[in-house]
Structure 1
Amino acid sequence: MRDEYRGLSRFNRPVYWLLTRGLWWLLGFGSLYVLCGFLIGWTTSYEVMVGITSPAQTRLRALSWMLSLTGWLATPAAVGGIVGYLVNRQVDRRRRESESAVLARMLREAGFEAPPTGGGSS
């Protein structure tokens, strides 16, 4: 089992993160949602999570506030991070020039000369 866990590094970065770190976040969020579903009702839990119902209008306000904050802050942040990384990967795959070549071309087009490469004294 230890070798299997260490072997997860063969996956690319998003898959590796989802299997090692993201799984714990998903488990925590899912547990909170299931707990709220049993205690305050499934419909109410969903409505609190997406912001239809205020957490102050439920029976268990503290738990509802945690679910509401998770639904409004943590979930969009995680989804945004994952989507941003995947979009960045796609852009990098389609990039034809290296970053140094693009920078050199931009400096040349702007009229700047390359800095001197020698270390002579003036």
Structure 2
Amino acid sequence: MPTETTTSTGSQFTSSPRGAQLARRLAVRRMEDWGHPAASDASCAVALVVGELAANAVRHGRVPGRGFSLRLTLDAAAGLVRIEVADAVSVKRPPTTPPTPHPESESGRGLLLVDVLAVRWGSAPRHPVGKTVWAEVSV
């Protein structure tokens, strides 16, 4: 595993379920590049968080003609991977604590998973437009 911070930047995806799937696959490949096999706990956790944040960007942050971006940063010294998913919608920011879905509901658990798997997570405005939802996962 590298000893310095390694960054993957500028990955753009279409705002579609296929785009979210490709973002997750890219995360798994990047984790392999950083020494974490696809079946490892660290890679699976990062892939799940990327999948949830990308799916939320597609579902809640979609603007016609605009995609979403993914940035992954490995801080090997701290043992963290930072995941950033940016979309073009500013007004729909995630809650600071995940909502509790109805037990029979078929959706609404994504941020609960992110909250469990991430050391910390949050969101920030993106200039000139949009927001970035980020999470840090231990590796």
Indicate the structure (1 or 2) with the bigger Cα radius of gyration: 1
Superposition TM-score, scaled by structure 2 size: 0.27
Q: Which has the higher contact order (CA 8 A, sep 6+)?
A: 2
Q: Which structure's residues are more often strand, by fraction? A: 2
Superposition TM-score, scaled by structure 1 size: 0.29
